[in-house]
Structure 1
Amino acid sequence: MKGESTGLIIGISIGVVIGVFLAISALFCLRYHRKRSQIGSSSSRRAATLPIRANGADSCTILSDSTIGPESPVKSGRNGMSLWLEGFKKSNMVSASGIPEYPYKDLQKATHNFTTLIGQGAFGPVYRAQMSTGETVAVKVLATDSKQGEKEFQTEVMLLGRLHHRNLVNLVGYCAEKGQHMLVYVYMSKGNLSSHLYNEETEPLVWDLRVHIALDVARGLEYLHDGAVPPVIHRDIKSSNILLDQSMRARVADFGLSREEMVDKHAAIRGTFGYLDPEYISTRSFTKKSDVYSFGVLLFELIAGRNPQQGLMEYVELAAMNTEGKAGWEEIVDSRFEGKFDVQELNEVAALAYRCINRVPKKRPSMRDIVQVLTKILKSRHNRKHHKTLSGTADEVSIDVDHPETRISITEHRREESTDSIADSTYEV
């Protein structure tokens, strides 16, 4: 009798444990199916992406030449990533800090049914758009057959949603509907740097302005390396990815290849021939110093006016045998200057560029060091001109190299009828 009661107690205990287990399992299953149904419902509508914005050092809220009207953002949401990228609910897809979502029909109307083509990049076509609020923007449309472009779309939105600096081409908004993915940027009215260096129809960029452009690019990269959290490596610095606004201020564009520092020996090499760091090619390791190398190539491109894909670096190495990397760089200078450049300044910039392309990454300067050197060069230029004007006055003058009065006057170097048309034909982001 006693044994029967003991067995009964054990049986009841086991039954209770099994019952509790089944109840918990049922609860989890119910929550799982409910969550799946919510995700499925969100996915069927559409997906878009916007990450959380994080401010870094030297951040700037200036987004474009034109004021971004409050009516442009027509849809917004709460903090978080979109379902399209990470599987979260659509209601969390837009950060509260404010990247707007544009309806497809608005962009269709603003581009006159996508007929205002101004450029064609690897990502897809780029259109000029006149919004109902009056601002002009550039709309980059992902090519429907581009699988790699889809990854780059994700990367650009994830990064540019949180990166804000006056020397980066900021993301104004996005659109993800009707099977299309589009990025909306500020419109850079002077096109890309490459078009100004190589198009014979444009007035050649004077030396003084080229140094200012170099400093603008350096500041953009310094922000990516030292101001962004986590740091970002651009991985595709080249003249066609440097865009110029109405004031000829340079901004870095095209973040489709950008990543954090990493080593992946199985990954395919990505970037543009002529600008690629040899260390990256041999080790598949890309670091901040990979961007520094590409920037050094860009500096030599500004100095020589020669395309890196057409033997620029071989040209530089031959010259370096005579200059020892310090002086005598005049032999590679762009003939379009017609002798109108400061020899000392040229050699200082070239010496900096040669340090940037050092085969040993550790011997290359940081972008912060580069910004300091270029700033010092421009301040010295200003002081020389100031002293000459004052006929021997030796007072030290503290200046802001970004002040309108200290930036080179570009009025005589603009041809509105030609540069605007060149911008429309060579726009690439």
Structure 2
Amino acid sequence: MAFLLVLFCVFLSTTSTRNLASSKEVPFSPHDNYLVNCGSPTMTTLSDERTFRSDRQAASFLSSKDDILVAISSTKDVPNPLYLTARIFVQQATYNFKMTRPGWVWIRLHFYPINNDQFDLRNSVFSVSTEEVVLLHNFSVNNETKVVVKEYLLNVTTPLLYLKFTPMKHSAAFINAIEVVSAPDGLISDVGSTLFPVGDFSGLSNRAYQTLYRINVGGPIITPQNDTIGRTWESDDMYLQSRALAKNVSVSPSIINYPAGLSPLIAPNWVYASAVEMADAIEKPNFNITWKFDTDPAFDYLIRMHFCDIVSKSLNDLYFNVYINGKMAISGLDLSTITSNLAVPYYKDFVVNASLISDQLIVQIGPMNQNPGAVNAILNGLEVLKMSSSVGSLDGEFGVEGTDMGASKSNKGAVAAVGFAMMFGAFVGLGAMVIKWYKRPKDWEKKNSFSSWLLPLHAGHSTLMTSKNSMGSHRSNFYSSTLGLGRYFSFSELQEATGNFDQNAVIGVGGFGNVYLGHLDDGTKVAVKRGNPQSEQGITEFQTEIQMLSKLRHRHLVSLIGYCDENSEMILVYEYMSNGPLRDHLYGKNLPPLSWKQRLEICIGAARGLHYLHTGAAQGIIHRDVKTTNILLDENFIAKMADFGLSKNAPTMEQTHVSTAVKGSFGYLDPEYFRRQQLTDKSDVYSFGVVLLEALCARPAINPALPREQVNLAEWAMQWKKKGLLDKIIDPHLVGAINPESMKKFAEAAEKCLAEHGVDRPTMGDVLWNLEYALQLQEASSQGKLEEENKAEAATTTTSSSAGVVVAPTAIAPVNSSTPDNPQVVEANSAPAQVHAIDEHSGTTMFSQFAEINGR
């Protein structure tokens, strides 16, 4: 009997293991998989067979000035080996991870406050951010001694992912382990449903997310070992209200049948194999089952609800309602109609606006009382993801560089209360500052003054200080031609111009801080870029932009109007480009579509700006971040290149390239530069080729929401180009509006730009030449159509007139369409061709004079 009992237990164990394994039926191999045990001297293998590398062994991960390693020898009360060591930072430190391709990435940060003699990690306060998103701001484990794991989901589009740890003053930052792991491409779709107003929310793929709750409703905890993509699913017990109203149900995971188009990676079958339904012992069945979750009312949330009918005995028997914070999310959910079978998974995404949330998220399900039909309702799984704010924050009202978004109304009284104390402290501190100034090291000014690096090559710091001191309040129209930086603005002037840097005036956000729309005293509109001195990366890019713009002037480069370096501020003032970035006019903003001629002229303008960068300065300049968001349009749709924060001086005559770390944006990045880290001006040419395809197809360079073969625009478009079918994927607004020869020349230019090797790509001058020719072909075609229409109209008019005189139309020069690679050929006795006006700075001023010479 005992022997049979042992056999039975072994059978149950084997069956359980087999069922558990069934949740891994669809394997997933992440293309990027960084598991780092911070501070550990060796690799660490966990019970789930995952191996974490030591950040000592992978020193390239970490860049820090001062860090401390701590460890404990006893494993008592420590959940797993990851929490035996930690790395502590007393200054800003950065981990960097090389991404092999763009897409969704899990970031999991493990915190366990190890007891040590140097720091009380339970009271440490610090921030963690990427280049685009604040993950944690002034974070602390709040004296807790338990493990804290923070999980994030980011759509990474850059070749390097940075994790920056910044301790607060007199504090320290720490980390025990980091996971940076690729997630499936289709994990987050681009569109979700909104509750108020009811409709669709697009742009989910452009947000970052923090996982707050991931619930296996009605079932047990699912560990990362039992989830193909390493997620943890909690039980719903602690969130369920009125347990007596709910009943747990479950079936074998093996009977779950995923429909076509729904990947098992969305949720394992263990989630769909369990559920909560309405308890059957209740006398009055008209009630809702309720779950409550604590939330931050300052953010929007993505709610994903998982359903699978494992309770019905037949189809068309279950209809129920779903509510979120009192709003109807789904009325009469009929899973049978949606899935056409039982035990078939289904999920739906909802975007809940912050206006609908106080401090709790409330999810409810209840019967629809459809007759006939069971009086019941079910829920199988629930995920609650916090969405990043408009300034790229997942924690507090702060942007990526910690810029305060404005004090809340409740804080204003407190601010006023401490105002007097602050003023008194300022007077006391002033004396100390004077003493410190006279005792400062000789090189203090050089290291810490904004002006020390603000100046161009030929100006001295004393020149600026003298000029500023002579201006009194600085409120003047003083222009410094010596500095090459334009007008000096006082901080108060820029405060007034931007409404005290009103967040409603923000027209752009970057790693440096925000860009504001400002109005000067004379009514001139300007773009005010306010840097954040706390950002080392921002300072570097700011410095580069100043150095570049101080020696560049061109019609197709955004002009620097002036600057401010008062009170340690780093502010640049540019001409305002009222029509914004080119990208907004191609897709995503519902703006009127650009005509083909407009797109050609914009691409030509951008090409002129880049051609000037490469050839017009004493030493050529490589932009290094050419993309449609960095091509700005003024009120007349004149294109100008912007954002020179990543720019580099081109190699000298003795060099073939510049060796530098990879910077740029996925989708635009030169593959040769990415592989070899050798930068040339042909890297800009490659990026510009992608811009040309964006202008033609009106879609992003990278769109992870599309099928895999369509994600990368350059690869996808070139496949169609090789088939001779590129016209099948162009912007629908352009169909029938493009002269075939013009499009052919344009597509050839893009293809040459995208050559695998830089040596095979044309110069920007050659690209510009081809684009101007494509514009001529388009204009000649349009002119020809107009003449034909005029001719037909004239013929009709003269035929109907009493005099019967026929008026001959004016002759125009024909385009030799049989030789599309050559410029327009003018026949001996024909009228002169209409040649598009060429900007004198384009490097092709003589183009019209050599129209009869064969093209290169």
TM-score (norm 1): 0.72
Q: 1:138 maps to what in 2? A: 527
Q: 2:370 maps to what in 1? A: none
Alignment check: 8 A CA contact 2:449 2:568 kept: no
Q: 1:356 maps to what in 2? A: 753
**For the residues of structure 1 that align with 2:647 and 2:688, how far apart are their CA atoms?**
15
Paired residue type of 1:381: Q
Q: 1:271 aligns with which of 651, 664, 687?
A: 664
Q: 1:291 aligns with which of 684, 701, 725?
A: 684
Q: 1:254 aligns with which of 643, 661, 675?
A: 643
Shift of 1:82: 4.3
Alignment check: 8 A CA contact 1:80 1:95 kept: no
Q: 2:618 maps to what in 1? A: 229
SS at match of 1:218: helix
SS at match of 2:573: strand
Alignment check: 8 A CA contact 1:375 1:401 kept: no
Shift of 1:399: 3.3
Q: CA 1:320–1:378 in structure 2 vs 1: closer, same or farther (change >3 Å)?
A: closer
**For the residues of structure 1 that align with 2:635 and 2:747, how far apart are their CA atoms?**
27
Q: 1:72 maps to what in 2? A: none
Q: 1:153 maps to what in 2? A: 542
Alignment check: 8 A CA contact 2:597 2:778 kept: no
Shift of 1:201: 2.1
Shift of 1:81: 5.0
Paired residue type of 1:228: A
Q: 2:456 maps to what in 1? A: 51
Shift of 1:189: 0.3
Q: CA 1:293–1:44 in structure 2 vs 1: closer, same or farther (change >3 Å)?
A: closer
Paired residue type of 2:722: M
**For the residues of structure 2 that align with 1:191 and 1:321, how far apart are their CA atoms?**
34
Q: CA 1:145–1:376 in structure 2 vs 1: closer, same or farther (change >3 Å)?
A: same
SS at match of 2:621: coil
Bigger mean CA offset, 233-242 vs 172-181: 172-181
SS at match of 1:47: helix
**For the residues of structure 1 that align with 2:740 and 2:528, how far apart are their CA atoms?**
42
Q: 1:125 maps to what in 2? A: 514
> Does 2:832 match 1:396?
yes
**For the residues of structure 1 that align with 2:514 and 2:618, how far apart are their CA atoms?**
31
Q: Larger RCO: Structure 1 or Structure 2 (Cα < 8 Å, ≥ 6 residues apart)?
A: 1
User: How large is the RMSD of aligned CA atoms in angstroms?
Assistant: 2.7
After superposition, where does 1:309-348 map in structure 2 within 5 Å?
A: 309-310=702-703, 311-323=712-724, 328-348=725-745
Paired residue type of 2:744: N
Shift of 1:303: 0.8
Shift of 1:121: 1.9
Paired residue type of 2:697: A
Q: CA 1:398–1:137 in structure 2 vs 1: closer, same or farther (change >3 Å)?
A: same
Bigger mean CA offset, 256-265 vs 195-204: 256-265
Q: CA 1:340–1:312 in structure 2 vs 1: closer, same or farther (change >3 Å)?
A: same
Alignment check: 8 A CA contact 1:192 1:240 kept: yes
Q: 2:627 aligns with which of 238, 263, 274?
A: 238
Paired residue type of 1:100: R
**For the residues of structure 1 that align with 2:488 and 2:442, how far apart are their CA atoms?**
21
Spell out, residue by residue over 1:61-86, the C-alpha distance to the aligned partner (whole angstroms, 9 max, x if none). xxxxxxxxxxxxxxxxxx51548xxx
SS at match of 2:646: coil
Residue segments in structure 1 that go unaligned for 5+ positions in a row:
1-33, 53-78, 404-429
**For the residues of structure 2 that align with 1:45 and 1:366, how far apart are their CA atoms?**
40
Shift of 1:90: 4.6
Paired residue type of 2:491: Y
After superposition, where does 1:405-424 map in structure 2 within 5 Å?
A: none
Shift of 1:299: 0.4
**For the residues of structure 1 that align with 2:586 and 2:532, how far apart are their CA atoms?**
28
Alignment check: 8 A CA contact 1:140 1:182 kept: yes
Q: 2:777 maps to what in 1? A: 380
Q: 1:371 maps to what in 2? A: 768
Alignment check: 8 A CA contact 1:237 1:294 kept: yes
Shift of 1:331: 1.7
Shift of 1:295: 0.5
Structure exhibiting the larger radius of gyration computed from Cα positions: 2
Shift of 1:100: 2.0
Q: CA 1:377–1:336 in structure 2 vs 1: closer, same or farther (change >3 Å)?
A: closer
Q: 2:401 maps to what in 1? A: none
> Does 2:499 match 1:108?
no
Q: 1:282 maps to what in 2? A: 675
Shift of 1:198: 1.3
Alignment check: 8 A CA contact 1:193 1:243 kept: yes
**For the residues of structure 2 that align with 1:140 and 1:201, how far apart are their CA atoms?**
26
Bigger mean CA offset, 180-189 vs 370-379: 370-379
**For the residues of structure 2 that align with 1:224 and 1:45, how far apart are their CA atoms?**
29
Alignment check: 8 A CA contact 1:222 1:367 kept: yes
Alignment check: 8 A CA contact 1:100 1:172 kept: yes
Paired residue type of 1:318: Q
> Does 2:692 match 1:305?
no
Spell out, residue by residue over 1:166-193, the C-alpha distance to the aligned partner (whole angstroms, 9 max, x if none). 1000111111121210111000000111
Q: CA 1:282–1:92 in structure 2 vs 1: closer, same or farther (change >3 Å)?
A: farther
**For the residues of structure 2 that align with 1:218 and 1:122, how far apart are their CA atoms?**
26
Shift of 1:348: 1.2
Paired residue type of 1:350: A
Spell out, residue by residue over 1:39-64, the C-alpha distance to the aligned partner (whole angstroms, 9 max, x if none). 65788886261325xxxxxxxxxxxx
Q: 1:99 aligns with which of 474, 486, 496?
A: 486
Q: CA 1:337–1:387 in structure 2 vs 1: closer, same or farther (change >3 Å)?
A: closer
Alignment check: 8 A CA contact 2:560 2:575 kept: yes
Q: CA 1:195–1:134 in structure 2 vs 1: closer, same or farther (change >3 Å)?
A: same
Percent identity over the alignment is: 37
**For the residues of structure 2 that align with 1:256 and 1:200, how far apart are their CA atoms?**
26
Paired residue type of 2:644: F
**For the residues of structure 2 that align with 1:44 and 1:92, how far apart are their CA atoms?**
20
After superposition, where does 1:193-232 map in structure 2 within 5 Å?
A: 193-232=582-621
Q: How many residue pairs are counted as aligned between the two chains?
A: 334
Which one has the bigger strand percentage?
Answer: 2
SS at match of 2:563: strand
Q: 1:163 aligns with which of 521, 537, 552?
A: 552
Q: 1:186 maps to what in 2? A: 575
Q: 1:413 maps to what in 2? A: none
Spell out, residue by residue over 1:8-64, the C-alpha distance to the aligned partner (whole angstroms, 9 max, x if none). xxxxxxxxxxxxxxxxxxxxxxxxxx9x98865788886261325xxxxxxxxxxxx
**For the residues of structure 2 that align with 1:344 and 1:45, how far apart are their CA atoms?**
56
**For the residues of structure 2 that align with 1:247 and 1:131, how far apart are their CA atoms?**
21
Shift of 1:200: 4.5
**For the residues of structure 2 that align with 1:332 and 1:289, how far apart are their CA atoms?**
26
Bigger mean CA offset, 256-265 vs 239-248: 256-265
Alignment check: 8 A CA contact 1:355 1:363 kept: yes
Alignment check: 8 A CA contact 1:42 1:89 kept: no
Shift of 1:386: 3.6
Q: 2:336 maps to what in 1? A: none
SS at match of 2:546: helix
Q: 1:59 maps to what in 2? A: none
**For the residues of structure 1 that align with 2:517 and 2:485, how far apart are their CA atoms?**
23
